[in-house]
Amino acid sequence: MKLIYFSWIRERIGTGEEEVSLPENVDTIASLFEWLKSRGEEFEAALEYPDVVRVALDQEHVDDRQTSLTGVKEIALFPPMTGG
Amino acid sequence: MKLIYFSWIRERIGTGEEEVSLPENVDTIASLFEWLKSRGEEFEAALEYPDVVRVALDQEHVDDRQTSLTGVKEIALFPPMTGG
Amino acid sequence: MTKAIPDIRIQAEDFDISAEISQLSEGRGDIGAVVTFSGLCRDESGTLAALELEHYPGMAEAEIKHFAEQAIERWDLCGLIAIHRYGKIKPGENIVLVIAASSHRQAAFDGANFLMDFLKTHAPFWKKEHLNDGSAGEWVAAKDADEDALSKWDNRES
Amino acid sequence: MTKAIPDIRIQAEDFDISAEISQLSEGRGDIGAVVTFSGLCRDESGTLAALELEHYPGMAEAEIKHFAEQAIERWDLCGLIAIHRYGKIKPGENIVLVIAASSHRQAAFDGANFLMDFLKTHAPFWKKEHLNDGSAGEWVAAKDADEDALSKWDNRES
């Protein structure tokens, strides 16, 4: 499973992407957030305000935090977009 | 007094502009229209549908047909504009 | 802040949009958005050979300037250019260009859109068609839809 | 009629608006209106040295394409180009370009405006400021106004 981070979330975590093996009980976005926060204070800082963190599963925006991660290959976390 | 005609009004009248001396009783746009129509069938054809004819006095649009012509130097008659 | 002065040109020649944008924005740090509108001559499904554009010199510039100044005032534009061509124009060629520059994007969109709506209905230009089959073309009729388009600028806070 | 295919590019390089318009309209007789939007880097009253734009490769193209296809469908556009730059961009330089071509002017305005609103809020780009005084810049915060701007495309007949 590939995790990708952008903008200040990337800066707080200290890396742009990583390969991880998720524990079996980490099967939704909500549980992913909990698991990430348990991995250290850089992750806690990045997810300090989880409501502002946007999520894309295999490059598609997903709002519902109960969405299943089954079959997903790439998860991206990033703040609200500021393009244009 | 200079009269200027554009588009199909110019074509029907057969000239783009002319210098005229208005009779004393021709002192509004409405009376100008009546006087022009008396000048021949080319003018009658040009003013056949007077409601669609637009008028500019000294290069300013004027809607009210009772507007006075006193002091006006240039009167233009033309159909609805189709620029852009 | 000094109000921007609209740059209005009535000309036979074509225009270069990139060059006009550069002229407007070069060396300025306050412009965040530039909207351009260019109107082109359509071929009307291949029937049209050219449009011939007649205008009222003097009044054409004055009318466009009048509405351009309204647009600058209403949307606090940084700059506004309007170029309208006259003479014979072939399908695919440019007829008109409006460029609005602003700090913010909606102001640039609205300023350009507003000026185009007024230009269509208030600027003294008339178009005559020249047809490909050689027959005498008609003067293009004014459209009610163009007149109706003006209403979107009534009583609206920008 | 075949639907137009949007031309989406994410690139470091600048773009030339006239060249892009030519590419879109050359040899076509059905295009009557071309609207371009270019977004430029402002200097924020002289405090900004540059913006640094980060993006999500792959998803950026896909997201813009998704909304570009919606715009083409909704306004029956003849053509649509979107170019978004990434990397370091200095004040006065271009960031983004949208070009919408249509037979009619309001469709071109609306198509370009719609795509810009969605690009601002849905395309995965993030801007970081680099300041002139050398201090570490902030990541630009998303604006509620940009989110609100989307509502004008709801439940509206075009």
CB atoms within 10 A of CB B81: 25
> Do B and A share at least 3 CB pairs under 8 Å?
no
Residue type, A65: R
Tell me if B22 is assigned to some domain: yes
Task: Name the neighbours of C, counting chains with at least 3 Cβ pairs within 8 A.
Answer: B, D
A25 has a pLDDT exceeding 90: yes
Tell me if B83 is assigned to some domain: no
Mean pLDDT in residue range C134-146:
90
How many structural domains are present in chain A? 1
What is the pTM assigned to this prediction?
A: 0.95
Using 50, 70 and 90 to split pLDDT, how confident is the model at C1? low
D98 has a pLDDT exceeding 60: yes
CB-based contact D27:C40 (threshold 8 Å)? no
Mean pLDDT in residue range D80-87:
98
Q: Give the Cα separation of B28 and B38 in Å (integer).
A: 16
D87 touches chain A (CB under 8 A): no
Please report which helix (H) or strand (E) contains residue A61, including its range: strand A60-61
pLDDT for D63? 97
Domains and CATH numbers, chain D: 7-150 (3.90.1170.40)
CB-based contact C129:C41 (threshold 8 Å)? no
CB-based contact B43:C86 (threshold 8 Å)? no
Identify the contact set of chain D against chain C, taking CB-CB distances under 8 A. Answer: 16-19, 21, 25-46, 91-92, 103, 105-106, 108-109, 112-113, 116, 149
Structure tokens belonging to residue A33: 């957030």
Q: Which of A7, A11, A6, A12 is nearest to A41 (CA)?
A: A12
Q: Give the Cα separation of D116 and D108 in Å (integer).
A: 12
C84 touches chain B (CB under 8 A): yes
Between residues 6 and 65 of chain B, which touch chain C (CB distance below 8 Å)? 6-8, 10, 56, 59-61
Mean pLDDT in residue range B38-58:
97
Tell me if A30 is assigned to some domain: yes
What residues make up the domain containing B43?
A: 2-78
Q: Tokens 């961009």 appear where?
A: D89
DSSP tally for chain D: helices H, then strands E: 4, 7
C-D interface: how many C-beta pairs under 8 angstroms? 102
Tell me if B54 is assigned to some domain: yes
Instruction: Tell me the chain C residues in contact with residue B4 when contact means C-beta distances shorter than 8 Å.
Output: 56
CB-based contact C103:D42 (threshold 8 Å)? yes
| CATH number of A46's domain | 3.10.20.30
Q: Which of D67, D81, D157 is nearest to D117 (CA)?
A: D67
Of the partner residues C16, C33, C91, the one whose CB lies closest to the CB of residue D29: C91
Tell me if A84 is assigned to some domain: no
Chain D: nearest CA to C28, how far in angstroms?
Answer: 6
Tell me if B84 is assigned to some domain: no
Instruction: Give B1-65 as a DSSP string.
Output: -EEEE-HHHHHHHT-SEEE----TT--BHHHHHHHHHTT-HHHHHHTSSGGG-EEEETTEEE--T
Mean pLDDT in residue range A37-60:
97
> Do D and C share at least 3 CB pairs under 8 Å?
yes
Tell me if B37 is assigned to some domain: yes
Interchain CB distance below 8 Å, C29 and D109: no
Using 50, 70 and 90 to split pLDDT, how confident is the model at C72? very high
Q: For residue range D9-65, list pLDDT tens digits in order.
A: 999 999 999 999 999 999 999 999 999 999 999 999 999 999 999 999 999 999 999
pLDDT for D47? 94
Tell me if A28 is assigned to some domain: yes
Q: Give the Cα separation of C2 and C7 in Å (integer).
A: 15
pLDDT for A65? 97
Chain D: nearest CA to C40, how far in angstroms?
Answer: 5
Interchain CB distance below 8 Å, D25 and C103: no
